[in-house]
Chain A
Amino acid sequence: MGQVLVVTSGKGGVGKTTSTAALGAALARGGDKVVVVDFDVGLRNLDLVLGAERRVVFDLINVIHGVAKLTQALIRDKRLDNLCLLPASQTRDKDALTDSGVADVIAELRTKFDWIICDSPAGIERGATLAMRHADAAIIVTNPEVSSVRDSDRIIGLLDSKTVKAERGEQVEKHLLITRYHAARAARGEMLSIEDVLEILSIPLLGIIPESQEVLRASNLGSPVTLNNAQSAPARAYFDAARRLKGEKLAMAVPSESRGILNKLFGRKAA
């Protein structure tokens, strides 16, 4: 039976879709069968980040409404044949998602894949609550700034009350993924420190993804950062996070400032 993960945050623009694609690809690279499911009905993006936007025929809503079979809607990645995408519908909205329909789709995906990664829409409404509903574990994506952290806190509260596991009295396993971490800005106190974020949210840390041009470059090319440039700093951080998800114990490296010698000499602006 596959593990159902939800990638969620509350706040928009923190890197849920990027992280879903990067972690999905990293897990698939390791040989596991992975499906990434876009729950952002009406504002889908995961197809773009995976470079599959030209191959979407059927989507999640079609499957829920019985218009298409699950196998017809799944899109196999061209680079990794054990990575699949279940796209969202762009022409519908979240009301088209039904509780029982989502339950059936997730149950079927569990039998076919090792990992089912649900990319949650921002917000705490229907789309987000249905994306987390059947999760075994959650990845909470947070930027090191106060509004993102407070929204994540809110989402953790919902994970503890609105999920099937919570209703059965069990716990949804929670992992914190800090994205867009900028060492220099954190050092200057312009961002919350890792310790501050961990203190406020008090859930285990899965990884710290450094702010990097590589992330934007990869999504513009329609490729998860872990496939586009596996040696880049964010890709390596995502690979480590994927290994931690599988239960490996890895030391957590807090990204530090790495400036060239010229930057070091001339990097400081006069006040």
Chain B
Amino acid sequence: MRSLLTNQNRTDAEKPVSSAVRQRQSLMFRARSYMAFAITPQAPIVEWLAELDTSLERSESFFSGHPVALDLSSVSLSAAAIMHLVENLAERKIRVLGITGVDPAIEEPGLPPILRGGRGPQQTTPDLPKAPTLVVNAAPPRQQPASLLIETPVRSGQSVVFVDGDVTVLGSVGSGAEIVAGGSVHIYGTLRGRAMAGANGNSRARIFCQRVEAELLAIDSYYKTADEIEDSLRRQPIQAWLEGETLKISALN
């Protein structure tokens, strides 16, 4: 499976078509990426189609309903031949969304659009028919936003360190436990231990918690110990942030 990234068109797409369009919020152009199968025909095409038929016999509905990109980098076909191949695939219920791996000069009306800038294959599909012509490789997954979700209580003595982003804890953080995050810290239970946000120098990180009984709150190495947290805030939902070199805490309601 291959992801098709169309964001190389973003600059064009985001250019306003006209000033009238700009005012109409409902009409917008945005680049988006979607998942599609990429199939790579091999020469000779007739034999390749026969092999494809064998694969489809084993897994008839494999392509049905899925958009498919035709990667023509292993063959050299004329526009007419491509058109013929697309028709052949349509007979097999394979709908070609676009073609890739061809000379852009080949473009002509009636051919599927030419796709550019597609990323490598994302993941292998275990039940894929073992046809040599269907090229499916693993590649690095798309980058996920960095955050860590912990659904259990964090117990005394445990230390959660995640310097890449935010940490969210659904349970409580026990006395003697600590959460260290490069980004913000969100705790939906009681914070009895330590929370340290912005651990790699991010002074915009914050700490949010449902009920504060913390031993220590720190953001980007500025901290307050339990003694320095106002009594009126204890056991309350709070947020903590950095204002200059001062750690501020306020009630969250």
Residues on B with C-beta less than 8 A from A157 are 154-158, 174, 177
Contact assessment for A200 and B155 in the assembled complex, using a CB-CB cutoff below 8 Å: no
Residues on A with C-beta less than 8 A from B174 are 150, 153-154, 157, 200
Question: Shortest distance in angstroms between A101's beta carbon and chain B's nearest beta carbon?
Answer: 27
Cβ < 8 Å to A, chain B residues 126-169: 152-158
Chain A 177-202, CB within 8 Å of chain B: the 1/0 string?
Answer: 00000000000000000000001101
Residues on A with C-beta less than 8 A from B2 are none
Which of B154, B156, B171, B172 sits near A150, CB closer than 8 Å? Answer: B156
Question: Shortest distance in angstroms between A105's beta carbon and chain B's nearest beta carbon?
Answer: 28
Contact assessment for A154 and B156 in the assembled complex, using a CB-CB cutoff below 8 Å: yes
Contact assessment for A200 and B171 in the assembled complex, using a CB-CB cutoff below 8 Å: no
Cβ < 8 Å to A, chain B residues 84-119: none
Residues on A with C-beta less than 8 A from B156 are 150-151, 153-154, 157
User: Who on chain A is nearest to B175 by CB?
Assistant: A150
Question: Shortest distance in angstroms between A234's beta carbon and chain B's nearest beta carbon?
Answer: 28
Interface flag for B67 (CB, 8 Å): no
Contact assessment for A154 and B155 in the assembled complex, using a CB-CB cutoff below 8 Å: yes
Residues on A with C-beta less than 8 A from B154 are 157
Question: Shortest distance in angstroms between A154's beta carbon and chain B's nearest beta carbon?
Answer: 4
Question: Shortest distance in angstroms between B229's beta carbon and chain A's nearest beta carbon?
Answer: 18
CA distance A200 to B172 in the complex (A): 8
Contact assessment for B176 and A150 in the assembled complex, using a CB-CB cutoff below 8 Å: yes
Q: Could you tell me the dominant secondary structure of chain A's interface residues?
A: helix
Interface flag for A160 (CB, 8 Å): yes
Chain B 165-195, CB within 8 Å of chain A: the 1/0 string?
Answer: 0000001101111000000000000101000
Question: Shortest distance in angstroms between B161's beta carbon and chain A's nearest beta carbon?
Answer: 15
Give the size category of B's interface with A.
10 to 19
Residues on A with C-beta less than 8 A from B190 are 199-200
Residues on A with C-beta less than 8 A from B177 are 153, 157
CA distance A153 to B154 in the complex (A): 9
Contact assessment for B155 and A156 in the assembled complex, using a CB-CB cutoff below 8 Å: yes
CA distance A182 to B174 in the complex (A): 25
7 nearest A-B pairs in the assembled complex, by CB-CB distance: A157-B155, A153-B156, A154-B156, A154-B157, A153-B174, A157-B158, A153-B155
Where the two chains meet, the residues of A that have a C-beta atom closer than 8 Å to any C-beta of B are 124, 146, 150-151, 153-154, 156-158, 160, 199-200, 202
Give me 6 other A-B pairs in contact (C-beta within 8 A), A150-B176, A200-B192 excluded: A150-B174, A154-B174, A154-B176, A157-B154, A200-B190, A202-B153
Where the two chains meet, the residues of B that have a C-beta atom closer than 8 Å to any C-beta of A are 152-158, 171-172, 174-177, 190, 192
* A-B pairs with beta carbons under 8 Å apart, 30 shown: A146-B175, A150-B156, A150-B174, A150-B176, A151-B156, A153-B155, A153-B156, A153-B157, A153-B174, A154-B155, A154-B156, A154-B157, A154-B174, A156-B155, A157-B154, A157-B155, A157-B157, A157-B177, A158-B157, A160-B152, A160-B155, A199-B190, A200-B172, A200-B174, A200-B175, A200-B190, A200-B192, A202-B153, A202-B171, A202-B172
